[in-house]
Amino acid sequence: MNQLKKVGRSGSRSTPIESLEGRRMLVASISVEASNTVQIVSGDYAPVRTDYTDLGPATLSGGFGRATRSFVIKNNGQSTMTLTGKRVRVVGENGDQFIVSKRPALTIAPGASTVFRLQFDPSSTGNKLGTVRITSDANNRRTFNFGIQGQGYSAVDVGDGLRYGIIQSGTGAGAQNNWVLQMNYTGFRTDGLVFDSSLNPGRDPFDFGLGRGQVIEGWDRGLVGTKLGERRVLFIPSALGYGSTGSGSNIPPNTDLIFETQTLAFGPSIQVQGRNNEVIPDGDTSPRTADGTDFGSVAASGNTIVENSFTVFAGLSASGLQPNLTGNPFVRVAGTNASDFTVQWQGNGLFEVTFNPSATGLRRARIEILNNNPSDGTYSFDIQGTGT
């Protein structure tokens, strides 16, 4: 407490009085944050994804395609705060397309908080803007305003709950199954939490073979027909995502997902898969047991061999995969210990490699697949095994 001197005829004495700071705190004080704890400033009319004020994409047909975000109202003062009027409402040009689906509590005790939830349910396509208005008896701000937005899309129904919308149109023909796509993407849950993005610092665009089971089913089915430069938003039900198992801490079981994608490049480029359908990168020099390029230990006596299978995906043609392969044979072995490995072409893209070491120790070679890819006419990767 501050001490002020009161002087009178009888002399002086000290009388405790409340500090001005303490008197200010004995009132209600409002603050607002997103459910991810990012603070929102009153008067901020520039919505962004990081604080959930940009609710992101939603489909006109509603249902799973609606975007929902939660926000927290806090009372930082030392007196009970009462929300007044309609408590929370959305006003502005497109305010009617944002719904307060969960209303906050009427009163908030000192140090406590309450949650309200907004739902974006667009009636037409395009970017929609609104202003959230929170009214209360808070001493620091009786009316707390901030801008929100969302993007409405006409959805294409792929089936089984999978839908997509076009953010930006692309050019040329659409991608087909077995083609290799190069994509940028951002994935987030329906509550707005971003769980992965190729746009994060240090990340590269993502390459995969469409329709080959290398990605979740929602991608394999939802990106068929995407065009060069196209930006597409995918609304993927959990059954076509990570299902009842989920994936890590940010994708719990039975979580619906949304991906915003951009197609950077695609075509019937060659790609090789090994064990467990793992893609073996072109130029890979680090053989692994997981993809079958490391054959493990084999007796050099000649009585034991190890055989691993690989599959070449080289795009579509009337005759299958072979027309894109230009070598004779299609697959060959080169390198220091090439004679310890033999290749047998099985047709339709499948080939088998046999390891039969002629001596003990580490034995290394290189698989080479000549093709008509204009950017790289030889697809190669290292293989190895150990003779014992």
Residue 277: helix, strand or coil by DSSP?
helix
Q: Which of 71, 164, 235, 242 is catalytic?
A: 242
Catalytic-residue membership of 195: yes
Dihedral over Cα of 242, 244, 247, 252: its sign: positive
Element (H, E) at 219: helix 217-222
Catalytic residue among 40, 108, 134, 216: 216
Chain centroid, CA 140 distance in Å: 38
**Residue with tokens 């004080």, as numbered in its chain:** 29
**Four-point Cα dihedral 204, 209, 213, 218, nearest 10:** 70
Which residue from 199, 203, 223, 200 is spatially nearest to 211, judged by alpha carbons? 223
Indicate which residue of 164, 185, 310, 381 is catalytic: 185
Our answer to whether residue 242 is catalytic in this structure is yes
Q: What share of the chain is helix, strand, coil (3-state, %, to 5)?
A: 10, 50, 45
Q: Could you confirm whether 164 is annotated as catalytic?
A: no
Assess whether 30 carries a catalytic annotation. no
Q: Which residue from 332, 343, 340, 388 is spatially nearest to 364, judged by alpha carbons?
A: 340
Which of 196, 220, 256, 340 is the catalytic position?
A: 196
Q: From the centroid of its chain, how far is CA 127?
A: 21
Exactly one of 259, 341, 351, 381 is catalytic; name it: 259
Which candidate in 166, 167, 191, 195 is catalytic? 195
Residue 115 and residue 104 in contact, taking contact as beta carbons nearer than 8 Å: yes
Whether 185 is a known active-site residue: answer: yes
State the catalytic residues. Answer: 185, 195-196, 216, 242, 259
